[in-house]
Each structure stands twice: as C-alpha cells, then as structure tokens.
C-alpha cells in the first residue's frame, strides 16, 4: 500500500525525459479525479444518444466534432424532435458561449504561441480543462514553455475519457437508459457548473434573472426561450453591477 | 432528422463551438474587445447555465410543476446545495441521482 502511494506521488520519469514530457504528464495527473466525474456524464450522453436513435458513429461524431458535453446533451432532444439545423446550431452556440469567456481568460497564457498551437489547445478548451489549469497558470505555478504541454496533457486525458465513455454509453445504452432516469444527469451537470459560476451579487443577479425568465420563456418556439432567458440574465447582471457601483458613490 | 440534416447540424455546431473557443485566444492582444462586451461576457456562464437548468427542473411532461410532488425539482435543489457546499462534481452527480431514485421509490410506494 505504502509503495503504491509513493509511486503515485513521485513522478517516475527517466532522468533524460524532456521538461515538455514532464509537464504533459503533470497535466494528465492533475485531471485524474475530474475524469471520475466525467465518466457518468459521458455514459449518460452515450446512452441518451442511443435512446434518441443515434447510431454509434453519429454519437461519436458529436463527441469528436462538438467535444462539449453539456451542449451535446442539450442537442439530443432537438435532434430527435427533428428540429432544423439552425435551431441545433444556435442552441449549441448559446450553451457554449461560456467557452468564449474561458478563452478570454486563457488568452494571456497562450499569447506567445503560434496559431496552430492556439488552435490545438482551443479544441481542448472545456469546463474541466479550464477549471483545472487557470488557477495554476494565473498563480504562476506552471510557467512558459510548460503551459502548452500541461494544458495539452489535461485536454487529451479529458478527450480520451470523453470518447471512451460516450462509446461505452452507446453500447450499454438500451440496458441503462430505461427506468434509471439517467437523463437527469443533464440538469445535474449544469447545476455542478452553475453554482460555482455564481460568485457574488452580480453573478447571482444574472442567475436569478435568467432562471425566472427561463420559467416564463420555456414555451417559446425554436428554443428561443433559452436565448431570451440568457439575455435577460446578462442584463440582470449588468443592472446589478450598475446599482452596486452607484450605491458606492 | 435525416442523416444529411444530422451531419450538417453537427458539423455546424462543431464549427461554431471551435470558433467560440479559438476566437478570443487568437484575437486578444491584437484587437481591442469592446468594454461592454467584456463586461457582459462575465455574466454569460451564470445566466446560460441557470437558464438551461431551471426549465428541466420545473417542467414535467410540458407542464409547470412547482411543488413538493416534483421529484426532479426537489432532487435538483438538493444537488444545488451539495454543489454549493462541496464544489465536487462527483458528489453532485451521485447525490442528485440517489435523491431522485429515493424520491421515485417513495412516490411509487405511496
């Protein structure tokens, strides 16, 4: 038992291993606990995809091309309802807008990199990869030129787990989808992401405004309810910010 | 949805997602982002994520159902408390699913 613990703690790389390889491995190691949480999420997506009538290739296609679980899960009911291409694309766009925000806060760390590196790392920009790396990068715990390798290690570990869990879910699909209410994983994943996003009064106001608006807007066609509620939420956040600033003056 | 429509939607969604991911990483430092856009972006995660969650919890079979009898709403609220106290995704998934199954079992035995 002791030996196992020691092995896990120390980085057992040959002395000749490059700093790049060491950073890559460190990135993979850091994300392991998060992968455990990613598994049921990927299983649920695969199983729900199979239940919605998608073939294994179609389910895997979604995981490879979109590579953003929450948006993939949210797109499934639209696909099985025969929604138009525009509605699916627009819904995915709204749900993934937050990735743009992550990009904004990650940008200074990737600034010196050539564009193809930026492209490669951008593909791996997910909630999990962002959350696992940004604090380290901002605190200077990982420095250039190791950041790219650390982030790539994190991203590749997430990617591999996501594809494997998707496929397992597709094949177990019929066995695990009925009666287990696995579709409930979708709101649970969003709850786990939403709560940490509510950091203060202004983000709280954004969430509250969006939540209330979503209840009333849910019956709007073409999934416009989500877009409308998200807009109301952003306005709510901006309004609270203005109010708070005025009170200070 | 036909096979062609499906792949058009998925490729479109994939292209849009990649563009969102890359846009500011590629542009920041080269182009000024309008301050209002930068301020508004701050509220996107909280707003979007909540707007996705709430209808999934309060609507049951297309009808608004805000009551103790709504198992998903109660389990979701419990999951939110777990998320707030622990910030642990695994606990949120495990606790939320366990709560839903328990409530469903109670509901069936009544």
Q: Give the tens place of pLDDT for each residue, A21-31.
A: 999 999 998 88
Q: How near does any CA of chain A get to the CA of B90, in Å?
A: 5
| Each residue's pLDDT tens digit, B45-92 | 889 889 889 998 999 877 888 888 899 999 999 999 999 999 888 899
CB pairs under 8 A between A and B: 259
Cβ–Cβ below 8 Å for B92 and A192? yes
pLDDT value of residue A210: 96
This complex has an ipTM of 0.85
Contact B16 A119 (CB under 8 A): no
- Rg of chain B over all Cα atoms, to the nearest angstrom: 20
Cβ <8 Å between A89 and B16: yes
Query: How far does CA A81 lie from the centroid of its chain?
Result: 24
**Chain B environment of A56 (Cβ under 8 Å):** none
Gap between the Cα atoms of A155 and A127, Å rounded: 10
Smallest CA–CA distance, residue B66 to chain A, in Å, is 10
Averaged over A109-134, what is the pLDDT? 91
pTM here is 0.77
Separation of alpha carbons A49 and A121, rounded Å:
27
Give tens-digit pLDDT for B23-47. 999 998 777 777 887 788 788 888 9
pLDDT of residue A30: 82
Whether A239 has a pLDDT exceeding 80, the answer reads yes
Let me know if A249 is exposed, middle or buried by CB neighbors in 10 A (0-12, 13-18, 19+).
exposed
Q: Is B102 in the A-facing interface, judged by CB distances under 8 Å?
A: no
CA distance B69 to chain A (A): 16
């Amino acid at each position: 038992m002791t030996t196992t613990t020691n092995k896990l703690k120390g980085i057992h790389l040959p002395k000749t291993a490059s700093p790049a390889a060491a950073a890559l491995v460190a990135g993979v190691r850091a994300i392991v606990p998060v992968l455990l949480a990613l598994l049921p999420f990927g299983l649920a997506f695969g199983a729900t995809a199979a239940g919605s009538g998608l073939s294994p290739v179609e389910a895997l296609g979604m995981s490879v091309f979109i590579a953003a679980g929450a948006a993939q899960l949210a797109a499934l009911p639209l696909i099985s309802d025969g929604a138009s291409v525009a509605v699916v694309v627009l819904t995915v766009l709204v749900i993934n807008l937050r990735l743009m925000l992550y990009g904004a806060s990650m940008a200074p760390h990737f600034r010196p990199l050539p564009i193809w590196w930026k492209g490669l790392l951008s593909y791996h920009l997910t909630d999990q990869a962002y959350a696992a790396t940004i604090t380290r990068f901002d605190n200077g715990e990982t420095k250039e030129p190791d950041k790219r390798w650390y982030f790539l290690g994190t991203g590749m570990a997430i990617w591999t787990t996501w594809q494997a869990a998707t496929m397992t879910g597709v094949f177990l699909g019929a066995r695990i989808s009925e009666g287990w209410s696995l579709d409930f994983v979708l709101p649970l994943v969003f709850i786990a992401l939403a709560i940490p996003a509510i950091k203060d009064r202004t983000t709280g106001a954004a969430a509250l405004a969006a939540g209330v608006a979503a209840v009333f807007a849910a019956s709007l066609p073409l999934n416009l309810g989500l877009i409308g509620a998200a807009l109301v939420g952003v306005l709510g956040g901006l309004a609270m910010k203005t109010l708070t600033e005025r009170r200070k003056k | 949805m036909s096979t062609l429509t499906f792949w058009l939607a998925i490729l479109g969604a994939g292209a849009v997602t990649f563009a969102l991911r890359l846009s500011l990483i590629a542009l920041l430092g080269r182009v000024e982002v309008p301050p209002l856009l930068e301020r508004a972006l701050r509220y996107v995660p909280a707003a979007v994520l909540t707007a996705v969650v709430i209808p999934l919890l309060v609507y049951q079979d297309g009808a608004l159902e805000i009551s103790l009898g709504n198992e998903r709403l109660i389990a979701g609220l419990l999951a939110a408390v777990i998320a707030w106290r622990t910030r642990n995704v695994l606990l949120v998934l495990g606790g939320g699913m366990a709560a839903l199954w328990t409530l469903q079992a109670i509901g069936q035995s009544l």
